[in-house]
Amino acid sequence: MKIALTSVFVDDPIKAHQFYTEVLGFRSKEFVEEAQLAIVVSPEDPEGTALLLEPRGDSFAKTYQESVYEAGLPIIVFGAEKVEETRSDLESRGVKFRDDLAKPEWGLENMFEDTFGNLIMVAAQKSD
């Protein structure tokens, strides 16, 4: 069994789709603007796990998202083989990282805000 699809709550799926594709570099897998349906995938693994940019509305999701954000916890972790290069590339596209590159014992990592209410972590990941 594999993870096929997971979701992250966003306040505006249409704008989030633009950010995740144009700024972060993900590919659009499915996008139906009038239905607020936005699903992206990694260009490095287009048949891998997809990410649904889920509209949060004013439901329990808003409270959950705000609580996780206020606690300073990442809502999702993206893996990169070369974290420093990935960070530099994202910064050149306007992504604002929260702090300096952290170097815990398990690898390199850093967090940025996706501008839709979420903290995203970029962590070192070895290739298969």
| Digitized pLDDT (tens) for each residue of the chain, 128 residues in all | 999 999 999 999 999 999 999 999 999 999 999 999 999 999 999 999 999 999 998 889 999 999 999 998 899 999 999 888 999 999 999 999 887 666 666 555 688 999 999 999 998 887 66
CA pair distance 3, 57, nearest whole angstrom:
25
Query: Is 7 part of any domain?
Result: yes
The verdict on 84 and 119 lying in the same domain is yes
pLDDT for 108: 54
102 secondary structure, DSSP code: B
Nearest to 18 by CA among 38, 35, 4: 38
CA–CA dist 69, 117 (Å, integer): 7
Q: How far is CA 38 from CA 16, 28, 101, in A?
A: 8, 8, 30
Task: For residues 42 and 75, state if they share a domain.
Answer: no
The number of domains in the chain is: 2
Helix (H) or strand (E) holding 17: helix 13-18
